[in-house]
Amino acid sequence: MVGEFAKRREQFVRDLNRVPGFRCSRPEGAFYAWVNISETGVSAEELCRIMLEEAGVAAIPGAAFGTAGREFIRFSFASSTATLQEAVERILRASASWQRTVALR
């Protein structure tokens, strides 16, 4: 399982970094991706709402883990590779919503 999670981690991090405004470093342990979303122009709470409502993908705002996490969101990658790839494709489609929101400001 360690090898399988390592493969999922590598693929998921690579895929998340394709999302506009996402910056994700390779996590050292566990099965969570910690994504800097400061370049999206949207709060972590709003971003999590958009992803859940428009993409059916759940993430947790980083502030739930302390004030230093304000511009981060956290994903679990304890799912199959296919599920993780589908999640990123859905996020990419939903990213148009937050990009529109920022453009209208």
Query: Which residues neighbour 34 within 8 Å (Cβ) at sequence distance 6 or greater?
Result: 24, 25, 27, 62, 69, 72, 74
Q: What is the mean pLDDT of residues 66-89?
A: 96
pLDDT of amino acid 2: 81
Report the distance separating Cα 16 and Cα 24, nearest Å: 7
**Position 5 pLDDT exceeds 90:** no
Average pLDDT, the chain: 93
Closest CA to 87 of 22, 12, 26: 12
Structure tokens at 42: 């949207």
pLDDT of amino acid 30: 82
pLDDT of amino acid 102: 77
Supply the pTM of this predicted model. Answer: 0.91
36, β-bridge pairs? 23, 72
CATH class of this structure's domain 2-98: alpha beta
Q: What is the mean pLDDT of residues 21-40?
A: 93
Report the distance separating Cα 88 and Cα 103, nearest Å: 22
- State how far the alpha carbon of 30 is from the alpha carbons of 9, 37, 78, 101, 104, in Å: 10, 21, 9, 33, 38
Element (H, E) at 23: strand 23-24
**Position 95 pLDDT exceeds 90:** yes
